[in-house]
Every structure is written in structure tokens, then in C-alpha cells.
Amino acid sequence: MKMSRDHIILSINGRQHEIRGEHAFMNLSEYLRYQAGLAGTKIVCAEGDCGACSVLVAKTSDPIRDQPVKFKSINSCIQPVFNLDGCIVVTVEALASAKELSAVQQSMVDQQGAQCGYCTPGICISLSYLKEQTGGTAEEIIPSKAKNFLTGNLCRCTGYEPIIKAACGLVDVKESSLSKRFLTASQVSTLKGATQTDVYFGFNRPGLEPIEVWIPSSKESLFGMLGKGRLISGATDLGVQRNKGRLGESRFISLQKIAELKQAVVTNGLLRIGAGLTWDQVQDFLQDDFSDFADSINLFASPQIKHIGTLAGNIINASPIADGVPFLLVNEAELLLLGSGGKERRVPISDFYQGYKKIGMASDEILWAVLLPKNKLKQRVYKVSQRKDLDIATINLAIAYELKEGVFSHLKLAFGGVAETSLRMTSIESLALGRKPDALFVADCAKAIDLALRPLSDVRGSSKYRMLLAKNLIQKWVVEIDLESQQNVNEANV
Ligand SMILES: Cc1cc2nc3c(=O)[nH]c(=O)nc-3n(C[C@H](O)[C@H](O)[C@H](O)COP(=O)(O)OP(=O)(O)OC[C@H]3O[C@@H](n4cnc5c(N)ncnc54)[C@H](O)[C@@H]3O)c2cc1C
Ligand code: FES
Ligand code: FES
């Protein structure tokens, strides 16, 4: 094993912090407010839903496609400090410089973008991220784009109009970027140094199991630790469970510093998505070959969740309404699992789920990568939720298909939200071959759905409603195929 440290190293607003024991086990929001004296960051929902706790984080160990180290927004209320070893954090307190408000803060004042002010620090962070990402040109800062950047920020009293105007007020405003101020070469190299070292810390809790945390810095170190604790990637699932008091474990292994988990490559027609890729990175990587699914990620959670949550966490969490799983099922993805000592196992995702939240993975195994074969099939992805943005699906559907001379020559179709696990609809797949996508086909699909599905009723929808949605989505897809072919005919006649 490499040299080991017993504390976390983190830069917050340009100051280096060495964080030990139970403080390293706190959520970042709690650490900021109660240990670092930075109470500008607010805690409201503590579930990643409202954005009041947003901060900017630059991971110095994120070498995907040689991208430079840069800031992204995350929710600090569900992020344990130990998961950020070697990171550079900027909070709302550091946006202003030389006693002057930042451009974002000034624009919020000018447009009267705050009333009670509770959401305002989070809004200022998201708008600073917008400015940082886009450089602030008139083409980039437009209302629709500002809205997308703000999907993870809930304002209960001001209303969004002045906030969007504040965003648009940033066009062409010159100021030194946060990257220039806080990601200096010396800062980055000091913190990057920290990511080369393994970390282990533990502490006792009266009447409870002691806490133990391992943060390996290399694949070799990780293999020696597998099985000792619960793996943590972005903590967007586990962080919520922990805040709700539903996390039984007391031993954890953070995967944030393993460079190999960040690799995304295409070899011989096979896309290999490292398990450490965050949702925004997956979206970027899949844009060329699976653009329909990549675009559907716009409706996945919020920017703050996508910047740190992973596809791997989505797969292992095994929720029957996980947005990633139906897509992987219809494209016959395989999961590359590694056990202690690096022993490899490839499992088709269709064999991975064994019941509600039951997966075919041993406690000393890790999901290392998702293997996705390229194909030339047409793809469709649908998600129905109670609101458009930042919501979990009531039901979702992925379809991969091919039509030859107007009839189906290939169809794979999988629903989420209709059973204990995401479900391939093989009965529909086999009845489709050689058939036209027409009203009769839709009616036969509805019969197959009646026979195969028995969805649960819960807060997101009754069983009856979900059955109706499943049938309606098939109809929607068939109508879309028809519209597309009419459009093709019209274009050919022009
Ligand atoms: C506000 C909010 C909105 C959300 N919106 C959506 C949504 O729209 N759609 C959706 O599908 N989900 C959504 N989620 C759920 C969640 O964000 C995703 O499931 C995410 O992909 C989880 O990834 P993670 O890296 O954060 O997982 P973590 O929380 O780190 O881990 C989740 C599980 O995976 C295990 N794990 C993590 N990495 C590995 C690995 N490499 N090998 C083995 N086990 C591993 C952990 O032990 C744990 O059991 C939302 C969550 C929040 C808080
Ligand atoms: S406090 Fe609501 S997202 Fe963190
Ligand atoms: S200003 Fe009150 S919640 Fe936004």
C-alpha cells in the first residue's frame, strides 16, 4: 500500500483545510457552516432537491479526455467531506473580491432577484457556474440556457423572472474568472499531490459501531480494500439515505480518486464507460453514438446532481425507476465487475437484477465499467414524471428498433416503473417482428401489457395510471414513427 494519511485535505475559498475524524465524516454543508464559519451556504431540504446548499467544486483528480481542472456546482448537503479529498471548493462567501460584489451578485441586486434570500446563495453559485462555463457571451447567456442552469435551484418567494433577468445581465460583463482566482497552477498541484496518497481514518461513537473510511488513490490499493466497506461514488443516493437515517453501514470506501474509473474509450465498436464517469460526462461521451439517450439526460435530476452522481451508482442502486437501466437493457450492455485482486467478470445487464433492489454482485466486487456495443438501431427514450425537471420517473421506457420496408426487423423495448426491476418486454418484441407500426400493432401491444405488467401504486402514480401510461407511450412512439416517415416522404418530394 502507498503512504497513508489519516485526514482529508481540501481547499476552501483559497485556504487549505486538514480535516480529521468525525469532521471528515460530516456533510460538506455542515462542515462549512459549523466548523469553517461559512454560514452563507444554506441547508433546507438536505436531499439534493432545492439547491440552497450549492457550492462549486473542482476535482484535481478528474482526468477525463484531458479536460483541464474546472469548477462544477454540487449540492453540499448530501456530500460527505471525505469524498472530496484533494478538491478545491468555492462557496458563496468567495464570489465577491476586493470588497466588490461579483458580477452575478451585483446583477441579482440590480434586478431585485431576492426577497427572503434563503435560496440566493445557491442561485448565485449556479449563475456563477453559468458565467464560468460560458464565458458570458450574448449567444451563450440566453433565458432558456439560464433556466437549464437553474433547474436545481428552488426559489419559493421571488419568482424566477428577476433571477433570469439577473442571469441575462451577465452578458459581456468583464471580471476575473473564479478559475483564474482559485485554480492557480500552485493550488492545483498542491491538491493534486494529495490525491496520490491513500487515506484511512476512523473514530468511535458511543453506543454505536465505530466509523471507518478508506480512500484509495490507486487501483492496487482499492483491490486490497474491497469488501471492507460500502463503496461510494457521487453519494447522491447514499447521501440522501444517510441524511434520512436509513444508512446502516459504518464502513465506507470512497472511489473518487481512482483515475482508471474515469476512463471512457471506444474500441472495436464497443463503448467502455468507466464507473467513475459522472452523468454530465456520460452525456458528453454518448452524444455521437446514442444521441437520443444523451439528450434525455437533460431531464435527469439537476446540474448539481449530474456533476457528481454516476451511471454506475444508478445501476447498483437498482431502483426500478432508474433512468439509466432501460436504455442499457435494450442495447444489451454488459457490466464489467472486478473482485478482490482484480479478478474480472462480465455480466449481461439482463442477468444482473434478481428482484427488488437485489443484484448479482458479491460484497467484495466493484462495478468497474459498463460495456455498450455500438449499433445502428433507432433509439427512443421516454420519461413521464410529475414535473418536467428534477423529478424521478413515474414510468420510463427505452426502445431500440429497426424498420425494413415498413415492417419491424428488430425491436428491443424495456420499461421502468412497472415492476420490481426495470423490465424487457419480450412479448412485445416477438409480436412486432415482420409487423407494421400501425393501430393494430398498438392494440396488440396494449394486450401484451395487460398480460405482463402489474405495477405497484405509490406516491408517483397508481397501478392503473402506470398501466395507462405504458400503453400511451407505445402509442406515442408509433405516432412519432408515422410522423417521421411522412416528413421523410415530404422531404423526398421537395
Ligand atoms: C435530487 C435528486 C434527483 C435525482 N434524480 C434522478 C433522476 O432523475 N433519475 C434517476 O434515475 N436517478 C435520480 N437520482 C438518483 C441518483 O442521483 C442516481 O441514482 C445516481 O446515478 C447515483 O449515483 P452516485 O454516484 O451518486 O451513487 P452513490 O450514492 O455513490 O451510490 C449508489 C449505490 O451504488 C453503489 N456504488 C456506487 N459506485 C459503485 C461501483 N463503482 N461499484 C459498485 N457499487 C457502487 C453504492 O454502494 C450504493 O449502493 C436523483 C437523486 C437526487 C438526490
Ligand atoms: S439543502 Fe436542498 S439541495 Fe441541499
Ligand atoms: S428569495 Fe425567498 S426562496 Fe428565493
User: Cα–Cα distance between 138 and 76 in angstroms, integer?
Assistant: 30
pLDDT digit string, tens, across residues 13-30: 999 999 999 999 999 999
Could you tell me the CATH number of the domain that includes residue 88?
3.10.20.30
Could you tell me the CATH number of the domain that includes residue 433?
3.30.390.50
Question: What is the pLDDT averaged over residues 169-197?
Answer: 92
> Which of ligand 2's atoms lies nearest the C-alpha of 76?
4
Q: Let me know whether 150 and 71 are in one domain.
A: no
Ligand 3 near 112 CB (within 6 A): no
Q: Give the pLDDT score at 64.
A: 56
Q: Let me know whether 483 and 393 are in one domain.
A: yes
Nearest residue by C-alpha to atom 6 in ligand 1:
301
Least confident of 88-92, 120-124, 452-456: 452-456
Ligand 1 near 51 CB (within 6 A): no
Nearest residue by C-alpha to atom 32 in ligand 1:
313
How much distance in Å is there from the Cα of 49 to the middle of ligand 2? 6
Q: Give the pLDDT score at 147.
A: 95
pLDDT digit string, tens, across residues 361-401: 999 999 999 999 999 999 999 999 999 888 999 999 999 99
How much distance in Å is there from the Cα of 313 to the middle of ligand 1? 4
Residue that is last in its domain, among 320, 351, 373:
373
> Which of ligand 1's atoms lies nearest the C-alpha of 299?
8
Q: Which residues does 265 contact at the CB level (< 8 Å), separation at least 6?
A: 271, 272
Q: Let me know whether 41 and 82 are in one domain.
A: yes
Q: Let me know whether 456 and 442 are in one domain.
A: yes
What's the structural domain count of the chain?
A: 4
Q: Which residues does 108 contact at the CB level (< 8 Å), separation at least 6?
A: 114, 120, 123, 124, 127, 163, 166
pLDDT digit string, tens, across residues 52-102: 999 999 998 665 556 678 999 999 999 999 999 999 999 999 999 878 999
How much distance in Å is there from the Cα of 237 to the middle of ligand 1? 4
Neighbour tally for 191: CB within 10 Å = 23
Ligand 3 near 157 CB (within 6 A): yes
Q: Let me know whether 444 and 327 are in one domain.
A: no
Could you tell me the CATH number of the domain that includes residue 323?
3.30.465.10
B/e letters for 299-319, b = 16+ CB within 10 Å, e = fewer, are bbbbbbbbbbbbbbbbbbbbb
Residues facing 200 on adjacent strands: 214
Q: Let me know whether 78 and 188 are in one domain.
A: yes
Nearest residue by C-alpha to atom 17 in ligand 1:
236
Question: What is the pLDDT averaged over residues 148-155?
Answer: 97
Could you tell me the CATH number of the domain that includes residue 132?
1.10.150.120
Ligand nearest to the CA of residue 74, numbered in listed order: 2
User: Cα–Cα distance between 34 and 478 in angstroms, integer?
Assistant: 55
How many Cα atoms sit within 13 Å of 474 on the Cβ side?
27
More confident residue, 52 or 488: 52
Q: Let me know whether 450 and 418 are in one domain.
A: yes
Reference 282, options 206, 205, 218, 369; nearest CA is 369
Q: Give the pLDDT score at 330.
A: 98
Indicate the top mutation candidate among 50, 151, 233, 421 to test ligand 1's pocket, ranked by most ligand atoms within 8 A of CB: 233
Residue that is last in its domain, among 373, 403, 430:
373
Q: Let me know whether 39 and 20 are in one domain.
A: yes
Residue 337 — pLDDT band, cuts 50, 70, 90?
A: very high
Ligand nearest to the CA of residue 43, numbered in listed order: 2
Q: Let me know whether 339 and 464 are in one domain.
A: no
Q: Let me know whether 30 and 70 are in one domain.
A: yes
Residue that is last in its domain, among 233, 254, 275:
254
Neighbour tally for 184: CB within 10 Å = 13
Assigned C-alpha cell, 57:
467544486
Least confident of 132-146, 278-292, 418-432: 132-146
Q: How far is CA 329 from CA 3, 110, 160, 318, 319, in A?
A: 42, 50, 38, 13, 14
Indicate whether this model's pTM tops 0.95: yes
Q: Let me know whether 200 and 264 are in one domain.
A: no
Ligand 3 near 155 CB (within 6 A): yes
Chain mean pLDDT for the chain: 95
Q: Let me know whether 351 and 390 are in one domain.
A: no
Expressed as residue numbers, the domain containing 456 is 382-493
